[in-house]
Structure 1
Amino acid sequence: MQSGKHITFATARQHQPQINDFCTATANGEEGARPQPAEQPQTSSDIRTIFGSTPTLRAEVIWVLRTGPDSVLAQSFTCGKDKSRYVAAFGLAPYFKKELIAEVKSSGPFVVMFDESLNHTTKNKQLDLHVRFWKNNHVQSRFYGSQFLGHATAQDLLHHFKEFVQDLDLRNMISVSMDGPNVNWKLFEHLQQEHAEAFGGSQLIVVVTQKNLPNPRTSSYDCLAVARNDPLIMAKFHFFMALSRTFTPFLTKYQTDEPVLPFISQDLTVLIKSLLKRFIKSEVLHNITPLQLVKLDTGDMAARIQLKNVDIGLGAEAVLKVM
């Protein structure tokens, strides 16, 4: 009774339904009398629920119910883990993806979302892609696919991105949602350029203006419409990128569980001074203490450098020179 096998069986028996939950005894009647129909179990009317105390066991019960009644089928049926993986990856997955593509195409405008992260199992970068579209008065967010990457530059991401979406109608793609402002912004520039070349320079705003697509009437669209009419929008983007490169080392350093808090005051001082020196006179910032830095009045025109000397970054300056 102390053996592991006996204990396992005894434990399982406590949760196993008895035969009288399914059948009732019949009194002796005439010869050939047919037994009365079995009563339904009191706990549930679904046999899968009774025997399926765990998700795995429930799946096995359903599988047996499918194959058991047919002896010929049961004799020829084999499906181990390798075959199941093969059927799922090369049989079911292409079918479901084809159905998803058809849904996205019939829905009209859609959004593509992707994220590049490290797969801790394979130790490779993994590119996950999702699509978001409108269906049955609801927003649908669906997984579209994954791909392992090696050295992921903007051109590499563009190559894999194009492979992913080649079956979709990019004329209905109204947005690309990205996970970072650096490499992915370059990817967006490549996509925007190729999109303009592929469709004769027409972009979403133009298509909506020409009433070839309905106005989505969202704040995101309104921001895009305003940005498209702003002649300085590319210069502003490059200025934002310059600022993000200034912030990135600080944010990266303090995204940790290590005890770095004692150094935050000094690092914040360096960060703020590097930002202020773009438009504040150097003599004002020279030998300034952290307390004085906090109390500095940046609205004081006497503390600012001349407008032509404001440091907006090399990228923004290059854009302005060709305008």
Structure 2
Amino acid sequence: MDISVRYWNEDDSITCTRYLTSAFLGHSTAADLLSAFKNSLPVNTLHKIIQVSMDGPNVNLRFLKDLKQDLKEGRTDEGVILDIGTCGLHSLHCAFKGAMRETGWEIVKFLRAIYNLFHNIPTRRADYIRITGSSLFPLKFCPVCWLDNVPVADRALKILPNLRNYVAGLKSNTEPTCASFVIVKSAIKDVLLGPKLAFFSSVAAEVEPLLKEYQTNDPMAPYLFSDFSSVIKNFMTRFVKADVMANTTLSKIDLSANNLLSSKKIDLGFGTRAALRSENASQKDMELFRADCLKCLQECVKRILKCSPLTFSLTRGISFADPSVALIPDLAIKRLSCALDIFVSHNWLSGIQGDKISKEFKRLCSLTAVQEHLKLHVRSKVRLDKFWFDLLNVYCSENTGYLASFLKMIFIMSHGNAAVEREFSINKQCLVENQLDISLIAQRTIHDGILSAGGLDNFVVSKRFIHAARNAYLKYKEYTEQQKKLLQEKEEQDTRKRKAAAELSALEAKKKKILEDAEKEAAVLSFQIEALKK
């Protein structure tokens, strides 16, 4: 379990994400996670945690619940951990994945099979080129994180005629016997496979830009509400009636049949419609295909509304820091009030601090120059934390101290688990046989330090660093001596425990023998007493 920390760097006035340590777990129950998590953090830091970001297995949700309960016990004045849900990227990815599974098309199975069929098999690749006259092969599908799978589906759609020619051109005695070929041979018999691939690509294209953009350590949490709402709106406009979309809030739209377009009128996308026109499918198959497309879109929206950060009011509240929202002062102030209510109720702010933050923000947004500055913001070029603090420094640095402190807490909130997910590949590169836990943690710490400096070219080799390198062997000797001493102390402690256990066993045996002798003597006396009474 890798643990990373997001914090406000006062030196650079930006949000930083740094690797802290790793915990090595045999079992991973919620209790195990909580114990390892608490033991991995420095002393007296638990109550400084504003938020815990993670993906969404039930064991993680139980861990978070137990952590909150553990922090509440005996403390009524400490801040309570805030919650904007599990990783937004995971929820979006899983919504798409689950929606495609509902169709029963098994597109993922097919995409993986066509890649595995030719991967590292020169004879099959040669036969494919000979039969089709094309050297265009399938791309690799990633089933874990669907970031670049639009090109995979597009490539599969492009080479689909070649795949059919390849299978038809093989002789029965030269057909591969692997499972991948069986899957491909069965799948290409579907006349609607092309439209299905095109629709898959169309839906994925709505999701992937957001998944890619959020693969960053920059502060993105204030954008979550707008971006996820935009994705949902794009999906809904494809199958929900226009008058319903115009008159109802997105989250309150009833996705029942009365509010939906008929399957013939839903927006399949230009690529899907073109693929449909090129296939000679029956009217019944076309209707079933459209019904499946409607089911997919409907299920995707339901899952996003159910599991994404949109379900948490704090996600809406912190969106006041989105410059596009701040351009509308009334809306921004309303959302700021929502965020402040949550921070005050969770003991991260006092009521007086909340009032001052609200007044400072209103005063800031009322300035014409600030409004012009907000219009010029380009999120792809300027980090959100840098943008706001540059704005504060230019226009009213002296009267926005409370607002600045509040923005720091907003910006260190995590938008997803991308940073920790990337660390898994780093761990894989660092791992070697018989490696100690501390060795892996040391390598990860060094790697993270170099990255935080901007890479090797920007790493400053200071005198302190040189002295640390020179003293490395001495530190190693001190460490080994310390470990020997600890081992010796443990052995001595174990020896004392064994001696104490042996003495205890002897005393227990002695006590048992004395009690047995006493019982025998008491029995003899009782017999004598009874004899005298007679």
Aligning the two structures, in what range does the TM-score lie when normalised by the shorter sequence?
0.3 to 0.5
* Higher relative strand content: 1
If the length of structure 2 is used for normalisation, what is the TM-score?
0.25
- Higher helix share goes to which structure? 2
What TM-score, normalized to structure 1? 0.39
